[in-house]
Amino acid sequence: MDKELLKTFVEVSKTRHFGRAAENLYITQSAVSFRIRQLEQNLGVSLFTRQRNNIQLTAPGERLLPHAKMLLTAIQRARLDVALASNRQQQLSLAGTPNIWDAYLHFGINQIVSSMPAVSLVAEVKAHQESVRLLLERTLDIAVLFDPPKVDELIVRQVKNLSIIPVSTFNYTNRDDFFGKQYVYVDWGTAFSLWHAKQCNSEIPPYFRTSTGRIALELILQCGGSAYLPEMLAAELIHKQQLFFVESVECNFREVYVAYHKGNEQLEHIETVVNLLASIAG
């Protein structure tokens, strides 16, 4: 199956717009339309329903999308492996969710890279479910996650216990102000959501919701407000008194896990990465 056809299909499914897909791929809109028609003819199905300003995936299109992404990832990985073979260099791929990067990986990736000069590291942002799927497909070596996958084929190890603390740009002294005045809710995973529901008795909905701690941090610094953020991310700002720790509100802890496939051929390098991740300060 033609890589360019799959690449175009994935881009259209992401943008839901032929024109924007064409801009992102640096080709003409007519070329995008031609590629999609060619792919549909090859497969014998319609991949999109086309209405004005409303392009949606059909059921066959929904089924094709994860396979297309997997094939493109595999092609990219194969090219890298071939290129690295000539230099006798090994490659490891590592993925984490956006919040894992903000709260944890961001502070230690330099240490991992500098400690393993003979290994080419590919670091990506992936959703939890996608990371687990790629581990099982052997197209991802290491996934760093908040919620441990319960899959027999994977080895899962806890590497950190992160402190998630209540902070505010206002020097609040009570929990009602923390949750009731421009509170930004950050999704720190399933366990945090269940815990948070018991802590927040306020009937006032959050001022803003986000799945990324750094977005929450930037918002409250610019507009004022409060949020639960990793201590590693907030510590320097608390020291500068740009943020205040709210002592009247309970803290939370999130375990960080590393998952990798039992049959991975690079277990020695993976163990090195796991040990380095466990040594990240904070």
Q: Do 28 and 45 share a domain, yes or no? A: yes
Residue 185's pLDDT is what? 93
Q: Do 178 and 208 share a domain, yes or no? A: yes
Instruction: Report the CATH number that the domain containing residue 204 is assigned in CATH.
Output: 3.40.190.10
Residue 282's pLDDT is what? 57
Q: Do 109 and 235 share a domain, yes or no? A: no
Domain count for the chain, please give it.
3
Pick the last residue of a domain from 53, 84, 115.
84
Q: Do 151 and 262 share a domain, yes or no? A: yes
Residue 169's pLDDT is what? 94
Distances (CA, A) of 113 to 101, 180, 201, 256, 276: 15, 43, 44, 20, 10
Regions of the chain where pLDDT drops below 70:
80-89, 201-203, 281-282
pLDDT tens-digit series, residues 38-58: 999 999 999 998 877 778 999
HSE, CB side, 13 Å, CA atoms: give it for residue 247: 2
Q: Do 7 and 52 share a domain, yes or no? A: yes
Q: Do 150 and 189 share a domain, yes or no? A: no
CA distance 26 to 198: 50
Residue 216's pLDDT is what? 93
Residue 85's pLDDT is what? 56
Q: Do 37 and 177 share a domain, yes or no? A: no
Residue 137's pLDDT is what? 85
Q: Do 154 and 261 share a domain, yes or no? A: yes
* Residue 143: how many other CB atoms lie within 10 Å: 27
Q: Do 266 and 150 share a domain, yes or no? A: yes
CA distance 216 to 183: 10
For residue 166, give its domain range.
161-254
Residue 144's pLDDT is what? 94
Asked whether 146 and 158 are in contact (CB, 8 A), the reply is no
